[in-house]
Amino acid sequence: MKLRTRLLLILAVILVVIVIDIPREDKVFSAIGLKDTSLKVRQGLDLQGGANLLYQTDLSKTSAEDKQKAVGGVINVIQKRVNPTGTSEVVVQTSGSDKVAISLPGIKDVNQAIALIGKTAQLSFYEVEQNGFPQATDISGKDLDTATTDIDQQSGKPIITFTMKSESVQKFASLTTKINQSGGRLLILLDDQPLFNGSVSSAITDGKGQMQGFKDIKDAQDTTVLLNAGALPVPINLVEQRTVGASLGSESIQKSIIAGAIGLLAVVFFMIAYYRLAGVVASVALVIYTLINLAIFKLSGLTPFPIVLTLAGIAGFILSIGMAVDANILIFERMKEEVRAGSSLQTGLEDGFKRAWTSIRDSNISTLITCFILYEFSFGNSIVKGFAVTLAIGVLVSMFTAITVSKTFMMLLLQTEWASDPKMYRFNSKSNKAKVAKA
Amino acid sequence: MNIVGRRKLWFIISLIVIIPGTISLILWGLKPGIDFTGGQEIEVSGNTNQSEVRAIVAKSEVADITVTTSGNNRLLIRYSNQGRGDSEAIHQAIKANLAAQNIQETAFSSVGPTVSRDITRNALLSVFIASLAIICYIAFAFRKTPPPLSSWSFGVTAIIAVLHDVLLVLGVFSLLGHFFGIQVDSLFVTAILTVIGFSVHDTIVVYDRIRENLRRYNKPFEELVNDSILETFARSINTSLTVIMVLLAFFLFGGESIKFFILALLIGIFSGTYSSIFNAAPLLVVYNNWKIKRSKKGGAKNLKPTKA
């Protein structure tokens, strides 16, 4: 039976969506290989606190064909610098053709992050001759394979041990041999700051070395990150910074939840007061709509394009609730007309849906056009982008719920005796032409 | 109810509502926030004596300082420091001075001059392209409309109604900017675009009914438009009511940072509902009458007459 299949499909969707929506402990989904942490709504910085940074890359000295590569390189290096372990929720991405946007959720010290991101991190090796004259060598940061922070067993001070790339081991060995024999010194500079300046007691043939002279362990760790991430391919400039404190963020969440709940309740109350039983159906559809939306927000975390929910995004979602209700209102008003003109509730329902469809389609497409333009011209602003995405998803989901969920539930209701009275929908107030349609 | 017949009244009401804001817009314009001008913005909590806070910030020799309240015990400090050296150092100095007075920074934004230029350009471009795209879409969606009107007239009149709504929101924010120092940011542009989308959304529902009735009935155009408005009246009001209810909840309980964004949406959606019913559809009649008058001179036929 057609109605039964529709109902089963909808119930299946609801079931899946609820399973996704339930907040769960960490282990539940790991059995089937889903990383649970990604199955939660990503919160924007205005909701959880943190910093958004926008950097302009300086491509004036880069040839046209290398520009894209240079920006990609900048992203790569910054990613390694701010997120060396790859575990935090830091997002580094292009914005426009030559800008790089970084979002650092929950960060405490923005200025330290800014300092770390902006470092040129150019590592250079010098041979200092006995007369004190430093001579550049052909070894640079590019020859470095890995660097790790350590504590020197004897002095208790932080040091960095490093390993040369295998193809550079020979180069390093011949340099140290030369310095050792001439009685000179080895000087290693990071962005013109000396990291090592001393004699070499013996030739280093295994490509391993040590640097010291750090202020504290934190300084050594930051330097390690810089060494491992490499140098920025082009200079960058901080052009925009937005920081929100964690307390302000959690206050925003709390307030939006309260406001959203009050707004939603008001709508449900109004719909039921005005459309009676049909209002109940619309409210149920609205709840399902909200659940589906939430599930999409969560699932998007598994894709390369996670939806980040911001305060404006919540507003977009709220606005789409209005549109979700609109589709229902359009249908019910049509149905009312048909019933008043003498149709039975069933035919009224069918015709109501058919007639309302062009309105729903055309009006929603115009909103989607606006969303698309907002997204494309989002002013490099992730908040505006988030608003456009949530509004667009809301509009699409609302079309689905209004057309399938509301209709199926209405059809189901009309199969029962008690729900087949136009009075239950306030549909019969003007004339008595509409007769009770028996199922 | 004869809505179309009293169209002059509705147009006059619209003009009366729009004129003060438009004058303000011409005289004073909008008060652009740091998104459009570049500069820095610090939100603080703690001591909220505006003049004290202002004095603290002024010690750092920055320009264009404004201090406005931002909800419960919060202040919004804006200043420009373009060309005054290291902006981060200035920010840190101000932050330290404020902290000495037990004022905590809760949020900080800094927008550079190139970024603000981009934002301004994109804002204007996006509003323009959105309007154009919507006219084209409506013209396309209504391409099979029976005579008397061309599908383009639907698109153009819909956009006139949209302009009404945009002008109203801009006007109100120009007044708010001049008298209360309320600035507009990129979120405001978002609100404007959303209002455009919503206003058209509303208008299309009315137009859709006109299109349908044109196919079904052979009535004078004016009467047909009026009937179409009345038939969609309950829907227009109910939809706007539900949206306004939710927005109102957000305006009252939803936190400070989006308060003016929500206010812009509220005004725009209220106006959008009004303009769809009282401006957009009656405008179609005005346009049709004008065409008949013109074609009578040229002797063209095939147009349905309307009631005087």
Arithmetic mean of pLDDT, B23-27: 92
Map tokens 């206003």 to a residue.
B199
- Whether residue B201 and residue A318 make contact (CB cut-off 8 A), yes or no, is no
- Whether residue B253 and residue A267 make contact (CB cut-off 8 A), yes or no, is no
Residues 5-44 of B with CB under 8 A from A: 35, 43
d(CA A398, CA B284): 30
Chain A residues touching residue B239 (CB < 8 angstroms) = 322, 325-326, 329-330
Q: What is the pLDDT of residues A21-51, one digit of tens each?
A: 777 655 555 566 555 555 777 777 777 888 8
Q: Which two tokens stand for residue A396?
A: 């699409």
Question: By the 8 A CB rule, do B38 and A240 touch?
Answer: no
* Facing residue for B130 by CB, picked from A238, A355, A373: A373
Q: Which two tokens stand for residue A388?
A: 């456009």
d(CA B210, CA B282): 11
- Give the gap in angstroms from C-alpha A314 to the nearest C-alpha of chain B: 10
- Whether residue A363 and residue B242 make contact (CB cut-off 8 A), yes or no, is no
Note the pLDDT of residue A183.
78
CA-based nearest residue to B206, from B167, B240, B245, B246? B240
Residues with Cβ within 8 Å of residue A10, at least 6 apart in sequence: A288, A404, A405, A408
CA atoms within 13 A on the CB side of A202: 3
Map tokens 């007369």 to a residue.
A131
- Whether residue A322 and residue B239 make contact (CB cut-off 8 A), yes or no, is yes
* Facing residue for B196 by CB, picked from A56, A370, A381: A370
Is there a cis peptide before residue B148, judged by omega within 30 degrees of 0? Answer: yes
Q: Which long-range contacts (CB under 8 A, 24 or more apart) does B141-148 make?
A: B141/A362, B141/A365, B141/B204, B142/B207, B142/B211, B145/B211, B145/B214, B146/B211, B146/B214, B146/B215, B147/B214, B147/B302, B147/B303, B147/B304, B148/B221, B148/B288, B148/B291, B148/B292, B148/B303, B148/B304
- Whether residue B92 and residue A111 make contact (CB cut-off 8 A), yes or no, is yes
Q: What is the pLDDT of residues A281-315, one digit of tens each?
A: 889 988 899 889 888 888 887 777 778 888 778 87
The chain A residue lying nearest B188, using CA atoms, is A384
Q: Render A283-300 in DSSP notation, one character per residue.
A: HHHHHHHHHHHHHHHHHH
Q: Which residues pair with A147 in a beta bridge?
A: A162
Note the pLDDT of residue A124.
80
Chain A residues touching residue B104 (CB < 8 angstroms) = 245
Give yes or no for residue B114 having a pLDDT over 60: yes
- Give the gap in angstroms from C-alpha A160 to the nearest C-alpha of chain B: 30
d(CA A53, CA A307): 18
Chain B residues touching residue A56 (CB < 8 angstroms) = 112, 114-115
Question: By the 8 A CB rule, do B202 and B89 touch?
Answer: no
Highest mean pLDDT among A252-256, B23-27, B140-144, B258-262: B23-27
Helix/strand/coil for B122:
helix
CA-based nearest residue to B90, from B61, B115, B51? B61
Please name the amino acid found at residue A33.
G
Residues with Cβ within 8 Å of residue A419, at least 6 apart in sequence: A277, A413
Give the orientation angle of helix B87-100 with respect to helix B50-58, to 10 degrees: 140
CA-based nearest residue to A175, from A148, A146, A139, A209? A139
> In this prediction, what percent of chain B has a pLDDT beyond 70?
93
- Give the gap in angstroms from C-alpha A29 to the nearest C-alpha of chain B: 34
Residues 264-293 of B with CB under 8 A from A: 265
Q: Which of A212-216, A401-405, B24-28 has the lowest mean pLDDT?
A: A212-216
Residues 59-118 of B with CB under 8 A from A: 88, 92, 104-112, 114-115, 118
Residues with Cβ within 8 Å of residue B140, at least 6 apart in sequence: B151
* Facing residue for A54 by CB, picked from B88, B115, B239: B115
* Facing residue for B88 by CB, picked from A111, A319, A364: A111
Question: By the 8 A CB rule, do A91 and A34 touch?
Answer: no
Rounded to the nearest angstrom, the gap between the alpha carbon of residue A139 and the centroid of all alpha carbons in its chain is 40
* Facing residue for A377 by CB, picked from B122, B201, B241: B122
Chain B residues touching residue A271 (CB < 8 angstroms) = 242
- Give the gap in angstroms from C-alpha B8 to the nearest C-alpha of chain A: 27
Note the pLDDT of residue A382.
64
User: How is residue A355 annotated by DSSP?
Assistant: H
Note the pLDDT of residue A4.
84
**φ/ψ (deg, to 5) at A108:** -95, -45
CA-based nearest residue to A165, from A143, A147, A148? A143
Residues with Cβ within 8 Å of residue A397, at least 6 apart in sequence: A289, A292, A293, A296, A320, A324
Mutate to test the interface with B, among A257, A384, A399 (most CBs of B within 10 A): A384
Give yes or no for residue A429 having a pLDDT over 80: no
Q: What is the pLDDT of residues A115-168, one digit of tens each?
A: 888 777 777 888 887 777 777 777 777 777 888 888 888 888 888 888 888 887
- Give the gap in angstroms from C-alpha B264 to the nearest C-alpha of chain A: 12
Q: Which H helix or E strand runs over A81?
A: helix A67-82
Task: For strands B63-69 and A42-43, give the pairing.
Answer: unpaired
Confidence of residue B70 (pLDDT cuts 50, 70, 90): confident
This prediction has a pTM of 0.79
Helix/strand/coil for A54:
strand
Question: By the 8 A CB rule, do B196 and B203 touch?
Answer: no
- Is residue B186 within 8 angstroms of chain A, CB to CB? yes
Distances (CA, A) of B246 to A260, A333, B175, B249: 7, 21, 25, 5
**φ/ψ (deg, to 5) at B39:** 140, -170
Residues with Cβ within 8 Å of residue B28, at least 6 apart in sequence: B174, B177, B178
Q: Render B222-259 in DSSP notation, one character per residue.
A: HHHHHHHHHHHHHHHHHHHHHHHHHHHHHHHHS-STTH
Q: Render B200-220 in DSSP notation, one character per residue.
A: HHHHHHHHHHHHHHHHH----
Question: By the 8 A CB rule, do A188 and A124 touch?
Answer: yes
The chain A residue lying nearest B242, using CA atoms, is A267
Give yes or no for residue B308 having a pLDDT over 70: no
- Whether residue A239 and residue B137 make contact (CB cut-off 8 A), yes or no, is no
The chain B residue lying nearest A331, using CA atoms, is B235
Give yes or no for residue A215 having a pLDDT over 90: no
- Whether residue B114 and residue A239 make contact (CB cut-off 8 A), yes or no, is yes
Note the pLDDT of residue B23.
93
Chain A residues touching residue B257 (CB < 8 angstroms) = 46, 252, 311
Question: By the 8 A CB rule, do A180 and A201 touch?
Answer: yes
The chain A residue lying nearest B240, using CA atoms, is A322
User: How is residue A236 annotated by DSSP?
Assistant: E
Confidence of residue A438 (pLDDT cuts 50, 70, 90): very low
- Give the gap in angstroms from C-alpha A77 to the nearest C-alpha of chain B: 23
d(CA A352, CA A330): 8
Q: What is the pLDDT of residues B265-290, one digit of tens each?
A: 999 999 999 998 898 888 888 888 88
Q: Which long-range contacts (CB under 8 A, 24 or more apart) does A417-421 make?
A: A419/A277, A420/A345
> A–B: how many Cβ contacts below 8 A?
213
> In this prediction, what percent of chain A has a pLDDT beyond 70?
91
- Whether residue A322 and residue B246 make contact (CB cut-off 8 A), yes or no, is yes
Burial class (CB in 10 A: 0-12, 13-18, 19+), B47: middle
d(CA A419, CA A421): 6
Chain A residues touching residue B130 (CB < 8 angstroms) = 369-370, 373
Question: By the 8 A CB rule, do A384 and B186 touch?
Answer: yes
